[in-house]
């Protein structure tokens, strides 16, 4: 082997060694790049998780915040000396536009020698005179929260002809398996065709049962009423006679 061949072999060895070194360097760079990529991915995932947790914390804090109470107005009924057995106060909500909606009671205040003409807002007839049971929608404004709106009973001298023309209502009490139901009542309709009365103190009895209250026959949605309770029932047509019946509700004892 001459000097020229040995030089060629040496150059070939050096080329192989150089290629090996380049390959090892490439692998090392790839490893570093892979580590960097993994680090970036992990950092991104952590950032996303932190952001999600922050949103959930904020949402939970928002959900747990105390709910603001809805603004309301108190409706008060002033009847003076007139008899009015129902509640004189009620609370109605104010909607987002500042309006309240409610209906006047069907019961008309009673006073000897007088008859009810209607409800007057703030004792000022310019607002209108509203009959019993009338539904109202009034703009009071959201700032009216906590205020009181007073309606006064407007009474006038009794018109006997008007009273005589009103329909009569007979109120029957059924025994429904019991004994000794109260006697029937005879009442006169008020000016809007409702009948207002007080249940008798006496109640029927039934062996093995307890009397719970009176259910208006044919109207399952009407509230259960009890002995001596004042009741008003809108019937309609103030001049037409009518009759209604109450059925006792029983609770089994044994």
Chain segment 186-226, per-residue pLDDT in tens: 999 999 999 999 999 999 999 999 999 999 998 888 999 99
Nearest partner of 196 among 108, 88, 114, judged by Cα: 108
Q: Comparing 20 with 42, which gets the higher pLDDT?
A: 42
Distance of CA 67 to the CA centre of its chain: 15
Chain segment 120-142, per-residue pLDDT in tens: 998 787 889 999 999 999 999 98
Q: Is-above-0.75 flag for pTM?
A: no
CA distance 188 to 234: 12
Q: Collect all residues with Cβ–Cβ distance below 8 Å to 191 and sequence separation of at least 6.
A: 108, 115, 116, 131, 132, 162, 166, 238
The DSSP bridge partners found for residue 120 are 129, 152
The DSSP bridge partners found for residue 48 are none
Percent of the chain with pLDDT strictly greater than 90: 63
Top-confidence range, 28-37, 75-84, 118-127:
75-84
The b/e string for 15-49 (b: 16+ C-beta within 10 A; e otherwise) is: eeeeeeeeeeeeeeeeeeeeeeeeeeeeeeeeeee
Chain segment 145-185, per-residue pLDDT in tens: 999 999 999 999 988 778 889 999 999 999 999 999 999 99
If pLDDT is split at 50, 70 and 90, which confidence band does 15 have?
A: low
CA distance 97 to 100: 9
CA distance 63 to 57: 10
- The CA angle 111-116-119, to the nearest 5 degrees, is 120
């Amino acid at each position: 082997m001459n000097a020229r061949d040995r030089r060629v072999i040496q150059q070939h060895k050096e080329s192989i060694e150089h290629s090996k070194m380049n390959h090892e360097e490439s692998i090392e760079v790839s490893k570093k790049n892979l580590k960097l990529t993994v680090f970036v991915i992990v950092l991104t995932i952590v950032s996303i998780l932190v952001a999600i947790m922050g949103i959930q914390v904020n949402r939970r804090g928002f959900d747990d915040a105390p709910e603001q109470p809805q603004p309301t107005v108190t409706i008060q009924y002033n009847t003076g000396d007139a008899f009015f057995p129902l509640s004189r106060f009620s609370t109605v909500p104010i909607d987002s536009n500042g309006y309240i909606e409610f209906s006047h009671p069907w019961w008309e205040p009673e006073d000897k020698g007088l008859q009810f003409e209607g409800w007057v807002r703030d004792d000022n007839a310019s607002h209108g005179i509203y009959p019993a049971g009338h539904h109202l929608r009034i703009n009071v404004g959201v700032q009216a929260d906590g205020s009181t709106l007073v309606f006064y009973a407007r009474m006038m001298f009794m018109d006997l002809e008007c009273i005589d023309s009103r329909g009569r209502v007979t109120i029957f009490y059924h025994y429904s398996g019991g004994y000794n139901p109260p006697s029937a009542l005879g009442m006169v309709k008020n000016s809007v065709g409702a009948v207002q009365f007080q249940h008798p103190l006496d109640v029927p009895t039934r062996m093995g049962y307890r009397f719970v209250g009176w259910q208006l026959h044919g109207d399952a949605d009407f509230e259960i009423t009890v002995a001596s309770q004042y009741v008003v029932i809108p019937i309609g047509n103030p001049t037409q006679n009518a009759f209604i019946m109450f059925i006792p509700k029983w609770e089994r004892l044994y």
